[in-house]
């Protein structure tokens, strides 16, 4: 590996500077991505084309100079492979025509065949590894069981996910049954990604923040821990957006890295999770500021976290209208950082 900063930081080893990559770094903010996206009929077609998925995965490495690539895919490939199909509707987002509504629907879901049904993801990983040729590590990922659960029950995105949350109270036993099925499939899927060359895997609990601490500890964290305990070939990052309240409990997970959104102070995160490498937590809206502002905020963030056991990233994904110049400023500032 020509540049192993990211992996060394993830393992808690000494680094010359903190590594940097950005969630959703391969996406609509890059003109080069938009050109590739325009060549296919839809988002899912791009995800399922290994050559094109590899191309857009590598774009941020070539254009921005990030220290890691993350495979271009989607967390919702998992419910689709389990038998709960979704459509990506323009200007709406993911829509499930037949969401889960009963225990019998759960019984119909499969937990087998991840390697076969999601071969297009592993093919994209294999192709990306060839193109990267050891320049930087490659990140694989999956959605956390609770986040996948919310889409399968709700049937679409939501501000509250009240329909999905209602299941936790009305149908706790069935909720656990569905969460376990998602967990079993996800473990198999992540192992397949590692076999195809993923150097680290990240678990995205994008909707953890809609839960109370008690429900998070009951319906989310135990299933994330199952995944962490099952994956020991490569480091694991857990990113639970909005779940700052669970930081102390998350510090007990068998993972190496905790991703942070912008709702928690670096000092508090260090206090609650001193044993973990931390990743984040720049507000993506900082990138709308001037070059000087972006550089100042990135430098201040590193100063507060410290340059060791730390990976520079945003507190969530890059927004589509983010100036590419700001993305480059983040990378340049990190690479020039000296304390």
- Whichever domain contains 225, its CATH number is 3.20.20.210
Number of domains observed in the structure of the chain: 1
pLDDT at 338: 84
**β-pair partners for 279:** 259, 311
Q: Annotated catalytic residue: which of 4, 33, 67, 74?
A: 74
Q: Does position 92 have pLDDT exceeding 90, yes or no?
A: no
At residue 107, φ and ψ (nearest 5 deg) are: -60, -30
Has 24 been annotated as catalytic? yes
Does residue 10 lie in a domain region? no
Does residue 243 lie in a domain region? yes
Range of the domain at 143: 19-252
Q: Does position 237 have pLDDT exceeding 80, yes or no?
A: yes
Does residue 231 lie in a domain region? yes
Q: Does position 339 have pLDDT exceeding 80, yes or no?
A: no
Whether 135 has a binding-site annotation, put simply, is no
What pTM value is reported for the model?
A: 0.97
94: closest CA among 191, 175, 161?
161
Does residue 214 lie in a domain region? yes
Whether 26 has a binding-site annotation, put simply, is yes
Does residue 141 lie in a domain region? yes
Q: Does position 153 have pLDDT exceeding 80, yes or no?
A: yes
Does residue 170 lie in a domain region? yes
Whether 14 has a binding-site annotation, put simply, is no
pLDDT mean over 165-178: 98
Has 151 been annotated as catalytic? yes
At 53-76, the pLDDT tens digits run 999 999 999 999 999 999 999 999
123: left (phi over 0), alpha (psi -120 to 50) or beta: alpha
- DSSP per residue, 46-107: HHT-HHHHHHHHHHHHHHT--S-EE----TTHHHHHHT---EEETTTEEE-SS---SHHHHH
Does residue 332 lie in a domain region? no
At 185-197, the pLDDT tens digits run 999 999 999 999 9
Does residue 98 lie in a domain region? yes
């Amino acid at each position: 590996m020509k540049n192993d900063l990211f992996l060394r930081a993830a393992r808690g080893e000494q680094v010359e500077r903190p590594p940097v990559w950005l969630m959703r770094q391969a996406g609509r903010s890059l003109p080069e991505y938009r050109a590739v996206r325009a060549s296919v009929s839809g988002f899912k077609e791009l995800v399922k084309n290994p050559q094109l998925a590899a191309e857009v995965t590598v774009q941020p490495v070539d254009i921005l100079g990030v220290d890691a690539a993350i495979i271009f895919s989607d967390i919702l490939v998992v419910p689709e492979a389990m038998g709960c199909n979704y459509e990506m509707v323009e200007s709406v987002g993911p829509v499930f025509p037949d969401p889960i509504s009963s225990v019998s629907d759960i019984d119909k879901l499969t937990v087998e065949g991840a390697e076969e049904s999601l071969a297009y993801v592993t093919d994209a990983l294999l192709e990306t590894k060839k193109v990267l040729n050891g320049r930087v590590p490659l990140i694989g990922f999956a959605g956390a069981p609770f986040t996948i659960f919310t889409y399968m029950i709700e049937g679409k995105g939501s501000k509250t996910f009240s329909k999905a949350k209602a299941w936790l109270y009305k149908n706790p036993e069935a909720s656990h049954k569905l969460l376990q099925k998602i967990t079993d499939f996800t473990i198999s899927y992540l192992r397949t990604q590692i076999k195809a060359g993923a150097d680290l895997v990240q678990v995205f609990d994008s909707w953890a923040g809609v839960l109370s601490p008690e429900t998070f500890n009951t319906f989310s964290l135990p299933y994330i821990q199952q995944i962490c305990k099952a994956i020991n070939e490569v480091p694991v990052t857990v990113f639970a957006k909005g779940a700052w309240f669970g930081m102390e409990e998350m510090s007990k997970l068998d993972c190496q890295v905790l991703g942070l959104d912008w709702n928690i102070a670096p000092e508090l995160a260090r206090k609650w999770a001193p044993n973990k490498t931390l990743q984040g937590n720049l507000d993506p809206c900082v990138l709308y500021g001037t070059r000087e502002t972006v550089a100042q905020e990135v430098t201040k963030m590193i100063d507060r976290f410290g340059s060791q056991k730390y990976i520079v990233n945003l507190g969530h994904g890059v927004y589509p209208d983010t100036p590419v110049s700001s993305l480059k400023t983040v990378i340049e500032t990190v690479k020039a950082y000296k304390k």
